[in-house]
Amino acid sequence: MAVDRERVAAAIRDILDAIGEDPDRPGLRLTPGRVADAYAEFFAGVQADAAEPLAHTISIAHGPAPETQPSGAVMLRDIQFRSVCEHHLLLFRGKAHVAYLPGDKVVGLGALAKVVEILAARPQVQERLGEQIADTISESLEARGVLVVLEATHGCVTMRGERQREASTVTIAARGEFTEPAARAELITLMTTAGRE
């Protein structure tokens, strides 16, 4: 089911009224509809299948170019994402770094970014988001190992409470061979520091 824009707009009118505002004043008259449109975008991943972008794989052994099979991990860094914290419904945003150690299947690099986008477009917590990305890639590609590092800043930290504007959160999710710290150490270095001078 898609986001019910009419219900969202009605709820936003109620919220505006509840905080003491007039939802019919000129500056706010269109706000409920605008928020409904934004929520339709922010939460487009709620009913989406995050594994779907990984459905079109190439067999390493039997594919069109077996001579190009990777001998190590495939990594995509700096995937920009934004999500909504399920605790306060405030945005959090950052970068995802994703690596996998192929079994027999590889996938187009854009598919990895799409998995991140779909799973981020739900009410989330960063820790679960990384785990879901790792599980989706591991299961769909039958990868020998998956590593997901997320770096994000959270509105609930930067905009409320102590307001730590520079604080960021880093989470790591690992599957298969990358559950061993020594096996993932080089990748984490490449994900977070290489080429960052």
Alpha helices in the chain (DSSP H): 5-18, 31-42, 109-120, 126-141, 155-158, 181-192
86 is catalytic: yes
Q: Which of 6, 86, 127, 180 is catalytic?
A: 86
CA–CA gap between residue 11 and residue 56 (Å, rounded): 40
126 is catalytic: yes
Q: Residue 67's pLDDT is what?
A: 57
Q: Which of 85, 97, 117, 131 is catalytic?
A: 85
Domain chopping of the chain, boundaries? 5-41, 57-192
Q: Which of 6, 47, 80, 87 is catalytic?
A: 87
Q: What is the mean pLDDT of residues 7-27?
A: 97
Q: Which of 97, 117, 124, 126 is catalytic?
A: 126
Instruction: Write down the CATH number for the domain with range 57-192.
Output: 3.30.1130.10
Q: Which of 21, 69, 151, 156 is catalytic?
A: 156
Q: Residue 65's pLDDT is what?
A: 56
Q: What is the mean pLDDT of residues 8-35?
A: 97
Which residues sit in the known binding site? Answer: 85, 88, 156
69 is catalytic: no
Residue 197 pLDDT > 60, yes or no?
Answer: no
85 is catalytic: yes
Residue 91 pLDDT > 90, yes or no?
Answer: yes
Confidence of residue 194 (pLDDT cuts 50, 70, 90): low
Q: pTM to 2 decimals?
A: 0.89
Q: Residue 105's pLDDT is what?
A: 87
Q: Residue 98's pLDDT is what?
A: 97
State the average pLDDT for the chain.
91
Alpha helices in 43-179 (DSSP H): 109-120, 126-141, 155-158
Q: What is the pLDDT of residues 119-178, one digit of tens each?
A: 999 999 999 999 999 999 999 999 999 999 999 999 888 887 777 888 899 999 999 999
88 is catalytic: yes
Q: What is the pLDDT of residues 52-88, one digit of tens each?
A: 999 998 887 665 555 555 568 999 999 999 999 999 9
97 is catalytic: no
Which residues sit in the known binding site for Zn(2+)? Answer: 85, 88, 156
Q: Residue 26's pLDDT is what?
A: 96
SS3 51: coil
